[in-house]
Structure 1
Amino acid sequence: MDMQGRTHIELQELLGLRHYVQHIELFSTPLQRSTLLGLHRSRLRGRGMDFDQVRAYQIGDDSRSIDWRVTARTGEVHTKVFHEERERPTFIVAEQSLHLFFASTGCFKSVLVAQVASIFAWASLQHNDRVGGLVFDDNGVTHTPAHRSQHSVLHFIQALADANQRLQQTMSQDLKNPLIEALQQALRLTRTGSLIILICNERHLNDESSHLLRRLAAQAELILLPVSDPLEHCLPTIGPARFALADSSTSIDTHNPRLRQQWQEKGAAYQAAWQNLAQQLGAALLPLSTQFGALEQLQAINLQQVLGTQAGS
């Protein structure tokens, strides 16, 4: 991959990811149990009804649902049973802030987020769900209302590409945690019963963002995808090193054993915090790393196993 592909991603590349959805089992076909959260029948899609089964007639059943063919064949009155057609609007909250404009290996975290968010958007549309979301950066939030249409997905992906292309190392500003505003917006914009897919910087989790995620979990299903880089969890021994962000920089001695231990402990603390929160919320936790490609990581996902483990804990 060239340097442009590592640091930024074009709209055309995000559009092309739709061709890979069939190779990633994020959602099952309608005839199978959903691989992505076995909860798809827990939300309504209006007044539509799908045929479920035929069983013996019981007092109180609607006589209009009697299956006369089966009744004539068996000599016993049978009725058709229907279940309500379900909907789970998918709302993708994806970060494109300067916090993600970094990687020690592979593509930048911002590129990885854009790729994963696009794949989830295409997969949701293919699964016939309404798709929308928020793209947030250091300057605010771009909202795409959820609709069951390719136009909605294209609008969301365009917002991703635009925000990604705006990122540049020379940006000079007092960086804050942009996740807070994004979650506040999500609380206002998402409807009860939505599926919220959050793809953000691993280090944005704090008391305030945790509180907002708890509020979201009370009204929606959550999939949490915190993004990190290997360097954030293990400091390589390379001697004196200088780190720069916008107009500020700092130098450290990577040979310092105490510094290396503190560095590793801080990374592990963020991982543990996400794990604890996901367990408390009953949410799927799928950490992402710049060490691996987006397709490789999504192909390795087994959400049923993740959710089953959390349910039994």
Structure 2
Amino acid sequence: MDTSELLKRVRQIEIKTRGLSRNIFAGEYHSAFKGRGMTFSEVREYQYGDDIRNIDWNVTARYNQPYVKLFEEERELTVMLMIDVSGSREFGTVSKLKKNQITEIAAVLAFSAIQNNDKIGMLFFSDKIEKFIPPKKGKSHILRIIRELIDFKPEHRNTDIANALRYMTQVIKKRCTTFVISDFIDDDFENALTIANKKHDIVALKIFDKREQEIPSIGLIKIKDAETEEYSWVDTSNKKVRDNYAKWWRDKDNLLIETFKKSGVDVANIRTDQDYVRSLIALFKRRGH
């Protein structure tokens, strides 16, 4: 994509997603992801009913009577976008590719974060860490993120969610809200997800295409695995083949649901041919209550 085409796409994404974040998500985002941490504010004399765990023993000893520390909620958040850039994102059969849906959703979340005066950072991952953009504020930073979302070319095509979660947990020291935006076509990341969610607030956004749920009966077709780039022939007119595939998808989906539940991670399932606005608002409302 040349520079003028890239800038045009950035502008289109900015206009659409900034409007959505301002008009639709602002209040819901704020209530769903308000500051979770507490910062020290001041000390005052102990009053009946105060939590004795908050007694400041140094001040108490100095004045020979009990004083307690007061804390206030941190309003500013750090938000991380963990973006799956593996080969399977290049799939889509109806209105858009998975990667285009991911780009729009990430841009909406980025603008929502900035309007809430939060810092926003981004991590691109495949089976390697492809790129890390540290959290910052400001419109120029947001536009850089959108440019990267549109134009980034990963070096690898496979997926390793556990590796990405471990990296994010190591580099982001302060507790943050992290959106993992992926199709979650991967195995064995439950342990890393559980550990990451203890330190941070992890939210999963699963992006998928309806043709990944079931195969239509259209005869003999040649298919390509987007990550291994291997080809194979499939007879889609064979009902047993279609049924076996549908069962494989359901089993994998049920395993994912169980993984998120065990890890204590909120999830929204977003199909490429459906309106992601509804899914995000429903997620925000669930978390805001």
Specify the TM-score bucket, using the shorter chain as the normaliser: 0.7 to 0.9
Corresponding position of 1:42: 36
| In structure 1, C-alpha distance between the alignment counterparts of 2:93 and 2:167, rounded to whole Å | 32
Q: Return the offset for 1:97.
A: 2.5
Q: Return the offset for 1:105.
A: 1.2
Corresponding position of 1:122: 111
- Alignment equivalent of 1:221, drawn from 176, 201, 210: 201
Corresponding position of 1:100: 89
Change (3 A) 1:181 1:84: closer
| In structure 2, C-alpha distance between the alignment counterparts of 1:227 and 1:148, rounded to whole Å | 27
Change (3 A) 1:88 1:253: same
Gaps of 5+ in 1: 50-56, 62-80, 309-313
Q: Return the offset for 1:141.
A: 1.9
Mapping for residues 207-218 of structure 1, pairs under 5 Å? 207=188, 209-218=189-198
Amino acid at match of 2:120: V
Mapping for residues 250-289 of structure 1, pairs under 5 Å? 250-289=232-271
**Is the Cα–Cα contact under 8 Å of residues 142 and 159 in structure 1 kept in the other structure?**
no
Change (3 A) 1:267 1:306: farther
Amino acid at match of 2:209: D
RMSD of equivalent CA atoms: 3.0
Change (3 A) 1:13 1:293: farther
Corresponding position of 1:131: 120
| In structure 1, C-alpha distance between the alignment counterparts of 2:239 and 2:191, rounded to whole Å | 35
| In structure 1, C-alpha distance between the alignment counterparts of 2:269 and 2:26, rounded to whole Å | 15
SS in 2 for 1:151: helix
**TM-score of the pair, normalised by structure 1:** 0.72
| In structure 2, C-alpha distance between the alignment counterparts of 1:222 and 1:176, rounded to whole Å | 22
2:14 matched to 1:25? no
Identity of aligned residues (%): 19
Change (3 A) 1:138 1:99: farther
**Is the Cα–Cα contact under 8 Å of residues 118 and 157 in structure 1 kept in the other structure?**
yes
| In structure 2, C-alpha distance between the alignment counterparts of 1:93 and 1:180, rounded to whole Å | 12
| In structure 2, C-alpha distance between the alignment counterparts of 1:83 and 1:60, rounded to whole Å | 18
Once structures 1 and 2 are overlaid, which stretch shifts more, 189-198 or 221-230? 189-198
Q: Return the offset for 1:116.
A: 0.6
Change (3 A) 1:48 1:248: same
| In structure 2, C-alpha distance between the alignment counterparts of 1:122 and 1:184, rounded to whole Å | 26
| In structure 1, C-alpha distance between the alignment counterparts of 2:47 and 2:234, rounded to whole Å | 75
Q: Return the offset for 1:264.
A: 0.7
Q: Return the offset for 1:189.
A: 1.6
Corresponding position of 2:218: 238
SS in 2 for 1:86: coil
Change (3 A) 1:156 1:266: same
| In structure 2, C-alpha distance between the alignment counterparts of 1:23 and 1:282, rounded to whole Å | 30
Q: Return the offset for 1:263.
A: 0.8
Q: Return the offset for 1:58.
A: 3.6
Change (3 A) 1:99 1:187: same
**Is the Cα–Cα contact under 8 Å of residues 40 and 72 in structure 2 kept in the other structure?**
no
Q: Return the offset for 1:133.
A: 1.8
SS in 1 for 2:282: coil
| In structure 2, C-alpha distance between the alignment counterparts of 1:303 and 1:58, rounded to whole Å | 37
| In structure 1, C-alpha distance between the alignment counterparts of 2:92 and 2:129, rounded to whole Å | 23
Once structures 1 and 2 are overlaid, which stretch shifts more, 151-160 or 97-106? 151-160
2:97 matched to 1:113? no
Change (3 A) 1:181 1:86: same
**Is the Cα–Cα contact under 8 Å of residues 145 and 152 in structure 1 kept in the other structure?**
no
**TM-score of the pair, normalised by structure 2:** 0.77
SS in 2 for 1:203: coil
Q: Return the offset for 1:28.
A: 3.6
Mapping for residues 52-71 of structure 1, pairs under 5 Å? 58=47
Change (3 A) 1:103 1:151: same
Once structures 1 and 2 are overlaid, which stretch shifts more, 194-203 or 134-143? 134-143
Give every structure 1 segment of 4 or more consecutive aligned residues whose post-TM-superposition deviation is greater than 6 Å. none
Corresponding position of 1:10: 9
- Alignment equivalent of 1:301, drawn from 272, 276, 282: 282
SS in 2 for 1:286: strand
**Is the Cα–Cα contact under 8 Å of residues 197 and 224 in structure 1 kept in the other structure?**
yes
Q: Return the offset for 1:140.
A: 4.0
Amino acid at match of 1:287: N
